[in-house]
Amino acid sequence: MAFFNLIGNKMKFEVTTDPVSSYSSLSVTSASFDVKRRSFFLVVIVQPSNAKQSVRFGVQPVVEVRDVGTGIRAHPLKEHWTLTVSLVSGAPNATLSGTTNVTIENERAVFTDLSVSIYGTNTVLEFVSSSGHKVCSTVQQN
């Protein structure tokens, strides 16, 4: 799928009346405007919590794709996106387990079985979309 910006567009409005009148020949052309591709960002709408060593998080993270222009859910999201999660801070030598790459459906990525091998304070997860967007979870502490 090709994406591009449409630059220098104009719209022309013409008046048509039935029966024909002196207003029928009126028209106006808009100022020039650009049509740009939508921009997005990620938000962690459900923060992971209730993590215990080698046990699934009690609350699994949910990440939403939002539209930069409106700040709301980017519906409809017309491209196929995936989201990958990784452990960026926490206990030394800890590993993240579970399904770490999910498909974004209905503008949301829902994780269901994440756990950490060693739990420590200051645990942070980083989420990266297949489109290059990034967001981190808030710090989870015991």
Query: pLDDT digit string (tens) for 62-93?
Result: 999 999 999 999 999 888 999 999 999 877 88
pLDDT of 43 above 90: yes
pTM: 0.76
Q: Is 27 exposed, middle or buried (0-12, 13-18, 19+ CB in 10 A)?
A: exposed
In whole angstroms, give the CA distance from residue 100 to residue 86.
7
Query: pLDDT digit string (tens) for 17-39?
Result: 888 888 877 889 999 988 888 89
